[in-house]
Amino acid sequence: MCVQLVVHDWQAGLRADVWLCRTIARLGRDRAQLICYQGDLLDARGPLKAASRVQPGTLELWRLPPDLVSQASAWPTILYEDDDLLVLNKPAGIAIHPTARYHHRTVTAWLAREGFGATQPCHRLDVETSGVLLCARNPGAEITLKAAFSARETQKTYLAVVRGELGDALRIDQPLALQGARGLVAIRMVPDPDGAPATTEVLPLALAAPYEPNRSLVALRPHTGRQHQLRAHLAHVGHAIIGDKLYGMGDRWFDAWSTGADAAPHGTLDHPSHALHAWRLAITFQGRPLRFEAPPPSAFPWPAAPWQSRAWPTNSRPEAASTATDTPPLV
CB 221 within 8 A of CB 155: yes
- Exposed / middle / buried, residue 306 (Cβ in 10 Å: 0-12, 13-18, 19+): exposed
Instruction: Enter the DSSP assignment of 97.
Output: S
Question: Containing H/E element for 62?
Answer: strand 57-62
Buried-state track 168-194, b at ≥16 Cβ within 10 A, e below 16: ebbebebbbbbbeeeeebbbbbbeeee
270 part of the active site: no
Catalytic residue among 17, 40, 67, 126: 126
What residues does 283 pair with on adjacent strands? 154, 290
Beta strands (DSSP E) in 91-240 are 120-121, 130-136, 154-163, 170-173, 176-178, 189-191, 199-209, 212-222
d(CA 222, CA 201): 6
**Exposure string over 14-38, b if 16+ CB within 10 A, otherwise e:** bbbbbbbbebbeebbbbbbbbbbbe
Angle of the 29-37 helix axis to the 16-23 helix axis, nearest 10: 120
Integer Cα distance of 9 and 54 in angstroms: 10
Residue 280: its H or E element = strand 276-285
Tell me the catalytic residues. Answer: 126
